[in-house]
Structures are given as structure tokens and as C-alpha cells.
Chains A and B, each alone.
Chain A
């Protein structure tokens, strides 16, 4: 099941702008290796789930996958063949807003070669350019 918040203050949100780089959530914390975005964008809940499945299928019972992003933003859309106007559309999907530098996923308990292969599979699902990073020494 795709991720979404349990409770929200408002059902609909404004689109917003993605400015600057990630100053938080931009390094590996839980695992040994991470997948870091180099672009800003929205990652939908379905995409996060697709990435999780792709990684889990590769990892199977080995290692552990950590998802570092959560879709807090509701994205609305107007139905097809509807005239413009008549107010804002209804929530369509939920998305995580990511800035360049955000770590999307982390893996622990596997070798670097396995983590690279796993993230390569996962990266194909992502709507943003990503890169492989390691845990920082200090």
C-alpha cells in the first residue's frame, strides 16, 4: 500500500517551489550506503513503493532497506474532459518533495557491490537523477 499521512491539517496544498539544496536528510544515517538525489522534484507515493519493491526483490532476506522520504504533500488534479474553473481539483496522489542532496533510500548489512546493483535497479524507478553515496567517516 502506498504511503500517505494518517492525519492532515488541510486536504489540499499549494504547489510550492523547490529552492536551494537539502540541508537536512542529506547524508547516510541508518545504513551503510545511500541513494542521493541530485535534482529537486516530487517523488510520488507510488514511486516510493515501486522503489521499495524493486530493492526488496533484489535484497530478498539479506540486508535492510531504509526509506528516508515520506509523501506529505497532496497533489490535486482536475478530471479529464472537464472545463477549466470551478475551483481546485480533488487530491490525486501524495508526493514527497525532495531537494538536491536528499537521501531517498539507504541500505545496510550488504556489500558495496550488492548495494550498487540494488540501487541501480531502484534508480530506474526514480523521477530524479540520483547517485550512490557511502556513509561518511566523521
Chain B
């Protein structure tokens, strides 16, 4: 069930109005796609943040516009906490969409008990699937991941009819022995080690040759 977002049509434009809107608890958004007119919208901040928190990719717009939409792009503030702007793309139920879905590991790897660590390497994959069947996230069970074993992109359980665009042999997660920290062999002699200056030494050598 897609998340329902109440939206209003926005007449105000520009950064000053957008800032006022954000202060008042709404986020500027835009709806486009399917060759139809682009509509400027305003959506409640708390509702939008809840949708993001729940991992929704396709939402049901209600209010001024009643339509299914894909969250195509989001702009975040410097702190990565507040949403500044959202791009919605119109989608129909039978349409195929390309979305980036996060990959989550679940469970406890038996390899950890043998002294290994689980490294999560691929955290997001791009998949192509029906708009109605976009998963919130791809859950990978690592209860059977032994030491030295790996789970690849090809092993991911995708929804029916979905295709993954990632490299199938890319390692999503593996259980390996921790790499020991390198020995600190390089000791600075007199604390005067300096990086090489580009062009500096060359000129000196040329001068000596002459």
C-alpha cells in the first residue's frame, strides 16, 4: 500500500517564498511526467519525512492532485536532516520504473563467531520493476553467511518481474577476517619529511646537469 501524501497546488515561486513555506512546515515540490503539464506543489514536511523514513518510493498524492507518483529526486539541507525540495514523477500502475533501492542485512552471520566481520559493500542497487511492486528495501538474510563466503547482487531476492541493473557479480556483503592494521614502519627522521614538490626537484636536477 503506497503512502498517501496530501498536497496543495503552490502559486508562490522563488527562494524567499520557498523559505517561508519551509518555516511554516511545508516543502515545495513539483510534479511532472507523462507529457502533461508541470505542477508546482506543496507537501507537509512531517508527512514527507515519514514517507522517506518508511522507504516509500511510489506515493499516492491526494488533495489538489490525485495521482500516483514516484519520488524521483530529493534535495537535502547541509545537515542531511531536512528535505528542501521533492521531485515527483507521474506513474501509472502498469508502468515500469527504475528506482534505487537500499539493501539491508538481517540476521547474525555464523562467521562472526569464528572471528570474522561482515562487510556491507553494496548498500543500494538500481532495479527496474512495476510501479506497484517497488519494494521499500531489499532484505538480505545473512544467517547462513559463513566465514569466507559472499552474497552477490545476483543472489538478491527481487520482486516478481524485477530486473537488477547492477553488476551481478558485485559483492553485496561478505564475511572476512579483519585486516590487521599496518605496522608503523615509516618513522619520520627528525620530523622533517615533506611531500615532493611538483616541478621543484626537476628544475634542481636540470640545474646540476648544466
Contact = CB atoms under 8 A, between A and B. Distances in A.
Contacts of A39: none
Contacts of A4: 193, 195
B198 A7 contact: yes
> Interface of chain A, helix or strand or loop or mixed?
loop
Contact residue range for chain B? 20 to 34
A100 interface: yes
A91 B195 CA distance: 11
Contact of A27 (B80, B198, B200): B80
Given A36-B79, A109-B118, A11 B194 contact: yes
B120 A138 contact: no
Nearest to A1: B186
B64 interface: no
A120 interface: no
B195 A8 contact: yes
B196 A136 contact: no
Interface string B167-210: 00000000000100100101110000111111110000000000
A26 B79 contact: yes
> Interface of chain B, helix or strand or loop or mixed?
loop
Interface in A1-43: 1, 4-11, 21-23, 26-28, 32, 36
A138 B101 CA distance: 8
Nearest to A100: B78
B117 A62 contact: yes
Nearest to B81: A133
Contact of A109 (B76, B119, B187, B197): B119
B71 interface: yes
B159 interface: no
Contacts of A47: none
Given A8-B195, A56-B181, A109-B119, A22 B78 contact: yes
A64 interface: yes
B178 A61 contact: yes
B102 interface: yes
A101 interface: yes
A9 B120 contact: no
Highest count of chain A CB atoms <10 Å: which of B53, B78, B120, B123 = B78
B150 interface: no
Contacts of A63: 117
Contact of A8 (B79, B188, B198): B198
A137 B52 contact: yes
Given A22-B78, A100-B78, A7 B118 contact: no
Contacts of A56: 181
Interface of A: 1, 4-11, 21-23, 26-28, 32, 36, 56, 61-64, 91, 100-101, 108-109, 133, 135-138
Minimum-distance CB pairs A-B, first 9: A21-B78, A101-B78, A27-B80, A61-B178, A7-B196, A5-B195, A8-B195, A9-B198, A1-B186
